[in-house]
Amino acid sequence: MTEESPVNMNIVETTKTRVKNCIFCNVIAANDPNIILEPRSDQFVIIKDIKPVATHHFLVLSDKHIKSSKSLQPNEQDRNLLKSMVAAAKQILLNNGCDLNDMRYSKSYVIFIIIFIFMSCCFVRMGFHWPPFYSIGHMHLHAISPASSMSAFNRFVAFNPSFSYVFVDVNYVLKRIGCKDENETESPSSVNKQ
């Protein structure tokens, strides 16, 4: 096992590094086909969340141990990793019958009751818990659908990028590292399946 770089303690620089006490590193290292889903690549794996908050709740785990999405840098390597993870999340949602046209969020703050109704609809949620609001220090993208099957707390607080600093939409992270638009990501069919 390689030790973390002294320059940036959030990112381990080699592609197959594992942190001994990281549960997600251990899941990836075990390579159990009963846990790890398709599509997958040498950059990420996909698993079902063991405590799903909706009918479909998947986690796309970076193969490389990265502490959180906040640790991503505006460089080509990190942009490509995140784009691939987003494409894989879209593909797993499509494979499970989710409608990706529902990947939108209400930006209206005019009348709370209208917002409440909008946020109760069947939206797809795709994003990250933002530090310090995460339980496992290994970057993982949440892909959740439909939001209408979530509890009120999860829908409006824990997994709501519109009204909370706890969870950020994947587009926020993409823009933060220099991607202009979520549509810049690979199409789901171009995900490298291995």
Over residues 17-53, the pLDDT tens digits come to 778 899 999 999 999 989 999 877 999 999 999 999 9
Domain boundaries in the chain?
A: 23-190
Catalytic residue of the set 57, 65, 140, 142: 140
**pLDDT digits 0-9 by tens, 162-189:** 777 889 999 999 999 998 755 444 444 4
Assign a CATH topology to domain 23-190: HIT family, subunit A (3.30.428)
One-letter amino acid identity for 107?
K
Q: Alpha-carbon distance 168 to 174, whole Å?
A: 11
φ, ψ of residue 164 in degrees (nearest 5):
-150, 150
Known catalytic residue at 142: no
Work out the pLDDT band at 143, boundaries 50, 70, 90. very high
Helix, strand or coil for residue 139?
coil
Across residues 48-68, what is the average pLDDT?
95
Instruction: Report yes or no on whether pTM surpasses 0.75.
Output: yes
